[in-house]
Amino acid sequence: MIVAGVYAINSPGKVMRTNLQRLLAVAIGGILTAGCDVPAQPDVPSAEVPWNIVLVVVDDLGWTDLGVMGSKFYETPNVDRLAEAGIRFTNAYAATTVCSPTRASILTGQYPARLRVTDWIDGHVRPWAKLQIPDWTHQLPHDALTIPEALGAANYVSASLGKWHLGNEGSWPEAHGFALNVAGDHRGQPPSYHAPYEIPTLGEPDGEQYLTERLTDEGIAFIEDNRDHPFFLYLSYYAVHTPIEPEADKLSKYEVKRESGEGEWVHRNPGYAAMIESLDDGIGRLLQRLDTLAIADRTVVIFTSDNGGLVLPSSPWGRVTSNRPLRSGKGSAYEGGVRVPFIVRWPGTTIAGSVDDTPVISADIYPTILEIAGVQNPGEIIDGLSLTSTLRSEGSPDRDALYWHYPHYHPGGASPYGAVRAGRYKLIEYYEDMRVELYNLDVDIGEVEDLAERLPEQTARLRSMLHAWRNEVDAQMPAENPNYDPKRALSFTR
C-alpha cells in the first residue's frame, strides 16, 4: 500500500510518478473499490504528473449548506458531483469561527494562535467588556511561508482570485507569493455582487456581470493560460458572505420553493439559496473546463469554507442560513461556527464517493498540498498534518486533538474562548471566568448536554491539553479590563 501515489522529484520543478507506482496505484485502487458500490476510478495520467491544485474556499458556507451535506432547500448538483467523484470529510473544521484567521491558517499551515492572527480584520472591540483583547496581528505575517511561496520551489505559478482579507496593501496576495491577484484586497466582503463592483483589483465589466460568475471566468482564464504548466489556483469566492445579493433570475425559483407545501424548511432564505446556486454553477463550469482542457486527471480539487454559516437573527437579510443539527453559527464557540464542508478530488487516488469522519482542520491543507506537489517543507513550523494517507485510504493521521483560540468577542455569540476536540469529546473554556463546557460529539453533535461536572476526569484531561497547547503556541491571552463596565459591556467600536 505504501507505494501508491508516491512521488519522486527527479529534478527541480519536476514531480514524477513512475510507471510502476502508477500501475500499483491503479491496482490498489481496484482492490479497494472491489465489492464496493462506487464508480470506477479514472485512469491516472500516463506522462509526468505535476499535479495542478485548485483550492476553492467559499466564504461563510455552513456545514449543511450543500445538497451532499444534507440541504434539501439549496441546490448544488455540481459540488455534489465533485463529492461523488472524491472524498468528503464529515468532521472538517475551520481554524476559527471567522474569516481572516482561517485563511491565514490555510495559507501557512499554522494555527491562528501561533500566527497571532486571531480575529477577522479589523476585528471587533468592546471597550467596556470584562476582558481586554490582546494586541493581535492585523495581517498575514511576511515571515510565514505560504503555499504559493513553498510551491515556487517546484516551479508552480499561483493565483489568488477573489477575497483576500489578510491585511492592507503590502500584505496582498502578490506580497505573499502569488503571481496574480484578482479582486483581492483588505476587505472581507464585496461592496456589491453586481457591477460596478468597486473593487480596485478587479476591472469593471462592460455590462452586467454577477461577481461570482466573473470570478469563475477569471479562474477559467487562469487555468487556460497555465494548462501546460503546474499551477495553484486559490479561488476564494466572495460568495456566500453578506450582502445577500442574488442574481435576479435565480431568485424566484427559491421564493416559490419556500412557499411550497413540502414542510418546514431548515434552510429558507431564497436570496442565499440563489447565491449558493450561482456558486455551484461556477464550480460546474470550472470542472467542465478542466475536462475539456484534458487536465482534470492531473488536477487536484479541494473545496471548503472558512467558517460556519451565518445565523445572526439581527441580519438585515433575515435569518441567512441554519447549521442544524449543529449549534449556533459563525462567530460562536460551537460546532456551527467552525464545522465546514471539506471535499477533495485527487484523480486516481481518492475513492469516488467516499466519506471520512477523521477530524481535520484548515491547517492540514498546507502540508497536504505540499506533499501532493512533492515539495519538501523547508523547515517551517507546520501545525497541520498531511491528509494524503487518508486520501489514499491508508488511514488517518496520528493526532491527539484539534485546538482553537479566539481571545475576542463576536456578535455571533463568542466571548473570548479556547477549545479542544480530542476524540469524541470537545471542551470549551471561556476566558472571562475560565468556566468550561464539555460535550460528547458522538452522541450530542448539537452540544446540548454539558458534561463538565459529570465527567470531571475527561474535563480535567482536555483542559490540561488545551493549556499545554496554548503554552506551546504562545497564544496571546486577553487581560482584565480596568475600564470594565457591566452596563456597557456589550457596546462595541470598530
Query: Which residues of the chain form contacts with Ca ion (CB under 5 A)?
Result: 59-60, 99, 306-307
Residues 6+ apart with CB under 8 A from 403: 111, 113, 418, 419, 420, 466, 469
Least Cβ distance, residue 120 to Ca ion (angstroms): 8
Measured CA to CA, the distance from residue 408 to residue 478 in angstroms comes to 8
Of the two residues 60 and 371, which places its CB atom closer to Ca ion in the complex? Answer: 60
Query: Which residue sits closest to Ca ion, CB atoms considered?
Result: 99
Give the residue among 435, 436, 434, 431 at the shortest CA–CA distance from 477: 431
Least Cβ distance, residue 327 to Ca ion (angstroms): 18
CA distances 81 to 35, 54, 287, 305, 360, Å, are 22, 16, 10, 17, 22
Least Cβ distance, residue 463 to Ca ion (angstroms): 29
Least Cβ distance, residue 162 to Ca ion (angstroms): 12
Of the two residues 211 and 375, which places its CB atom closer to Ca ion in the complex? Answer: 211
Of the two residues 59 and 119, which places its CB atom closer to Ca ion in the complex? Answer: 59
Least Cβ distance, residue 208 to Ca ion (angstroms): 26
Of the two residues 145 and 414, which places its CB atom closer to Ca ion in the complex? Answer: 414
Least Cβ distance, residue 99 to Ca ion (angstroms): 4
Lookup: cell for 483: 475600564
Strand partners, 161: 182, 235
Least Cβ distance, residue 366 to Ca ion (angstroms): 18
Of the two residues 306 and 335, which places its CB atom closer to Ca ion in the complex? Answer: 306
Element (H, E) at 406: strand 402-406
Least Cβ distance, residue 308 to Ca ion (angstroms): 9
Of the two residues 88 and 163, which places its CB atom closer to Ca ion in the complex? Answer: 163
Of the two residues 165 and 324, which places its CB atom closer to Ca ion in the complex? Answer: 165
Give the residue among 304, 317, 239 at the shortest CA–CA distance from 278: 239
Largest CA distance in the chain: 70
CA geometry: angle at 188 spanning 283 and 212, to 5°? 25
At residue 58, the 3 state secondary structure works out as strand
Measured CA to CA, the distance from residue 251 to residue 351 in angstroms comes to 35
Are the beta carbons of 422 and 137 closer than 8 angstroms?
no
Of the two residues 76 and 307, which places its CB atom closer to Ca ion in the complex? Answer: 307
Backbone angles phi, psi at 65, to 5 degrees: -85, 20
Are the beta carbons of 192 and 266 closer than 8 angstroms?
no
Least Cβ distance, residue 306 to Ca ion (angstroms): 4
Of the two residues 54 and 106, which places its CB atom closer to Ca ion in the complex? Answer: 106
Measured CA to CA, the distance from residue 231 to residue 360 in angstroms comes to 24
The alpha-carbon radius of gyration of the chain (Å, integer) is: 22
Strand partners, 92: 360
Lookup: cell for 283: 464550480
Least Cβ distance, residue 320 to Ca ion (angstroms): 12
Residues 6+ apart with CB under 8 A from 455: 438
Under DSSP, the state recorded for 170 is T
Backbone angles phi, psi at 304, to 5 degrees: -155, -175
Q: Are strands 87-89 and 354-356 parallel, antiparallel or unpaired?
A: parallel
Are the beta carbons of 92 and 98 closer than 8 angstroms?
no
Of the two residues 130 and 330, which places its CB atom closer to Ca ion in the complex? Answer: 330
Lookup: cell for 122: 479589523
CA distances 450 to 91, 329, 362, 423, 428, Å, are 20, 18, 26, 16, 10
Least Cβ distance, residue 96 to Ca ion (angstroms): 9
Least Cβ distance, residue 276 to Ca ion (angstroms): 14
Of the two residues 60 and 119, which places its CB atom closer to Ca ion in the complex? Answer: 60
Lookup: cell for 347: 484523480
Of the two residues 55 and 151, which places its CB atom closer to Ca ion in the complex? Answer: 55
